[in-house]
Amino acid sequence: MSRQDQMARAGRYVLGQMEGRERDDFEVAMQADAELASMVDRLAQSMQALDDTVTPAAIPRGMWKAIEARTAGMAQLGPVRAETVVSLEAARARRRWVPAALAASVVLALGVGYLAGTRLGAPREPVAVAVLLNETDSMPGAIVQAYADDSVTLRPLRAFTVPEGKILQVWTLPDRETGPVSLGTLPRQATTRLQGPDLPLPHEGQLYEITLEPSPGSPTGKPTGPILVKGYARFSPS
């Protein structure tokens, strides 16, 4: 497995997008591969550092009641079989890779995201994930989650230096004939949802990158500035 594939899987694990057998197999792989475990730890620490910079905000009034109302009619889980119960020790071991603050943020994001997705018709699951790496030191710089409605969520994992008069611009390469397509610019360095143009669904290995461009964006409609980070899409199993 290539480093890019490993990084993509590590990103999906840290974001909590692995479930069941896939997650169990990945955790076994981490126990046998110190480099993979270290990669997951670095990603988790990067996201924790980003989480620590966020000023806690008050939960909107009535949010939990709204969540309860919207989930009340959803199908409930059936009886839990004895063999599916996880011991406290196993649960603690499983959670050792994800910082507590990040886990709390994910829980809150799931509640808010459910409401936003229901109200806006936005997809709740990405169809592909790309971990964008810095070519110089191969360290993760951002995670891109691509959705079926041509939107992407960008999660920065490091601080980018953006000089005055410059802006970060996100690109994808659906195919060589089309060439690079802009997905939008970042007004600030934070987790951001961008609504891209009408494109085919992302394919395995599709390129995503962030470049530094003159504000308010590339004057040519194509990348002109230096590439800060780039990576390739990996499908999210359904």
Of 43-47, 53-57, 70-74, 200-204, which gets the smallest average pLDDT? Answer: 53-57
Quote the pLDDT of residue 127.
87
The pLDDT tens digits for 1-11 are 666 677 778 87
Report the alpha-carbon distance of residue 217 to residue 203 in Å, rounded.
26
Mean pLDDT estimate for the chain: 75
The pLDDT tens digits for 16-65 are 777 788 888 888 888 888 888 888 887 777 666 555 555 555 666 666 67
- Domains, the chain: 3-120 (no CATH), 128-235 (2.60.40)
Residues near 152 by beta carbon (within 8 Å), at least 6 away in sequence: 144, 145, 146, 170, 172, 183, 193, 194, 196, 208
Angle between helices 34-52 and 20-32 (to 10 degrees): 110
Mean pLDDT to the nearest integer, 153-162: 87
pLDDT at 15 over 90: no
Supply the pTM of this predicted model.
0.55
Angle between helices 100-120 and 63-71 (to 10 degrees): 70
